[in-house]
Amino acid sequence: MIRKKLNIAVTGLNAIDSPGPGVAVIRGLLEAKSFDTNIIGLAYESLEPGIYMHNLVSKTYQVPYPSAGVDNLLSRLEYIHHKEHLDVIIPNFDAELYSYIKIEDDLKAMGINVFLPTMTQLEERQKINLFDFGQKYGIRVPKSKAIFEISEIYDLQKEFEMPVVVKGKFYDAGVASNIDQVKSLYKKISNKWGLPIIIQEFISGTEFNITGLGDGKGNTIAAVPMRKQYITDKGKAWGGISIADQTMLDLTYHFVSSTKWRGGFELELMKDKNNEFNLLEINPRMPAWIYLAVGVGQNIPEALVQMALGDKVTPFTTYSIGKMFIRYAWDMIVDISEFQKISTTGEL
């Protein structure tokens, strides 16, 4: 049987110490059994390592930052589509999803497919709204509060016990044991990601994550839980192991059926001293460790593409337990002319 060849554009090529999901997603796509793939990289910076991984990415184009607005993004994608005839785009950063959701209909009219959460789903799982989200859907979520001014920090001790977790609205987080540390993290994170800053109740315990895929109708297409084995100073999983945990799976099924989640996702969980799972974050896209799901038998990137194309997908029901991922770094040798080309022309 002749397999169809798809041109798939992928963002998140920054395979650094706090990696984007792009390279892991691409590896899953290249192992797809239902189609062949030609990968087009979409990069924001000239030093994103995925740009230069020519065994994975056939060509890369620079795209404007989300702050440049949807019109600039759409114009750039029209140019790329004219040259590459894209079938699917998989955005892999939280901050860019707003733009892609807004232009989903425009992309569809061009013949480009995406499979993303709705704007309502994206908004209600925001860190600033997560506590209310938990109340609405009956999911245990630590108490949290958004602050917009540094003066609000002094009132936190009336509502929270120290330590607390200080989070940016998109990325970055740290644990603060006193008010001075809260102020320091507030300044550091807000300077990088803006306001608000979210203050969250600190839950001590063991960290777990589960990644999956929802069909937008309440059905869970895929779900793979893992326990973090090694965590970086930025809180990123550098190693993890697939586990059997029916409670985590049931929580995931409840999340998907209640919200009718559409697309990939990651639930970040903390198991406390009472063996209760607390939902710390919902990431509205595939995580950087998504290749573990591929490795244990659930190729979520492949299934997401099939759903974006409107193909029927049979839900995964099993996965291998006790499989580990261990992330590592290596040095690529790249000719300076390639860096100059992507930097000056926006293409490589």
- Topology (CATH level 3) of domain 143-201: Dna Ligase; domain 1 (3.30.1490)
pLDDT at 329 (0 to 100): 84
First to last CA, the chain: 33
Beta carbons within 8 Å of 207's beta carbon, 6+ residues apart: 227, 228, 231, 237, 268, 269, 270, 271
CA distance 115 to 88: 9
Predicted confidence (pLDDT) per residue in 160-212, tens digit: 999 999 998 877 889 999 999 999 999 999 998 889 999 999 999 999 999 99
Predicted confidence (pLDDT) per residue in 124-168, tens digit: 999 889 999 999 999 999 999 999 999 999 888 889 999 999 998
Averaged over 242-258, what is the pLDDT? 97
Task: Give the CATH class of 5-115+331-345.
Answer: alpha beta
Q: Are 60 and 342 in contact (CB under 8 A)?
A: yes
Domain ranges of the chain: 5-115+331-345, 143-201
Please say if the pLDDT value at position 233 is more than 80.
no
Neighbours of 178 (CB within 10 A): 12
Percent of the chain residues topping a pLDDT of 90? 86
Neighbours of 73 (CB within 10 A): 21
Percent of the chain residues topping a pLDDT of 70? 99
CA distance 191 to 171: 12
Predicted confidence (pLDDT) per residue in 16-55, tens digit: 777 899 999 999 999 999 999 999 999 999 999 999 999 9
pLDDT at 234 (0 to 100): 66
pTM: 0.93
Please say if the pLDDT value at position 237 is more than 90.
no
Averaged over 326-336, what is the pLDDT? 91
